[in-house]
Structure 1
Amino acid sequence: MVLLFVYGSLRQGMYNAPLLRRGRLVAKEAWVNGVLYDTGEGYPGLIAGEGRVWGEVYQITQQELRWVDRLEDYNGPNHPDNLYERISLKVRTPEGEQTAYTYYYRDVERLKQKGKKVASGDWVAYVNMK
């Protein structure tokens, strides 16, 4: 079992949430340091930076992690075809810190040029306001 921090289409109420239906929601309110962007393609991209990005933490199996890897176009560490890189980072919750996997958008410069910064750091709130 592994922990996964999700901040976009995998969150509750979003269109890819059913992919995590077998997982156990560990933290409904969680955040990481970073900057969130709207890619303009219907999903967000997270990059390193000063800010807070909101999401949820799930406990999932290795098989479920592989399913999410496919969804995120993650083919292994530093693979040239990756859209995202899977990383391990500290996730904060009201109960304390945990270490979990998440996905950073790989092409930072493209995201900064063509994407739109999500000031709130909360994809669900951002989508619901559109």
Structure 2
Amino acid sequence: MSGGLLPFFVYGTLRPGQPNHALCLAGRTARVEAARLPGAVLHDGPGYPYAVRGAGGGEVVGELVHAAPGAYPELLAVLDRLEEYHGPGHELNLYERLRCDVLRARDGARVPAWVYVAAARAVPGPRIPGGDWLGRAGDGTAVTGRR
């Protein structure tokens, strides 16, 4: 993988079976694979989760999403808009887009990926035990919201 063409690590409403997966990722991805983000915790939000890095250890469960050939610029723009990301450190950001190493589930390999984490203006709610948004939803059914 060269330059900034990294896969995206998703952990909430962008995960397969969730509402924003179909809205934002359908037709724009080549593959999705299970992964986890170490050194972060997951917090509930108003209908969507926030990952918080360096907040007491833990890990966040999610998937690595790889863009389909030729779809990367559009996918990046769609996700930045969904996540209210305006650029590094922008005061209006709801999420910051950071390059982080995630662990691929099938082999434990470290893979660099873009991860949207809570920005300064985000107001994370209670911590989600186990770092799994689908587990938080109870039966894994769709939860409304953004991520």
TM-score (norm 1): 0.88
Residue 91 of structure 1 aligns to which amino acid in structure 2?
V
Q: Is the 8 A contact 2:12 2:134 kept in 1?
A: yes
Aligned to 1:74: 85
Residue 3 of structure 1 aligns to which amino acid in structure 2?
P
1:22-45 superposed Cα distances (whole Å, 9 cap, x missing partner): 212241x20012000001x10000
Aligned to 2:137: 127
Match of 1:8 among 12, 15, 40: 12
Residue 13 to residue 65, structure 1, CA distance change in 2 (3 Å): same
- d(CA) in 1 for partners of 2:120, 2:63: 24
Structure 2: gaps (5+ residues): 141-147
SS in 1 for 2:36: strand
Matched, 1:56 2:66: no
Residue 109 to residue 16, structure 1, CA distance change in 2 (3 Å): closer
Aligned to 1:43: 48
How far is 1:124 from its partner? 1.1
- d(CA) in 2 for partners of 1:109, 1:3: 24
Divergent runs of 4+, >4 A: none
Higher helix share: 1
Percentage of pairs with the same residue? 34
Residue 35 of structure 1 aligns to which amino acid in structure 2?
V
TM-score (norm 2): 0.79
Higher strand share: 1
Residue 106 of structure 1 aligns to which amino acid in structure 2?
A
For residues 28-39 of structure 1, what are the structure 2 equivalents within 5 Å?
29-33=34-38, 34-39=40-45
Matched, 1:92 2:103: yes
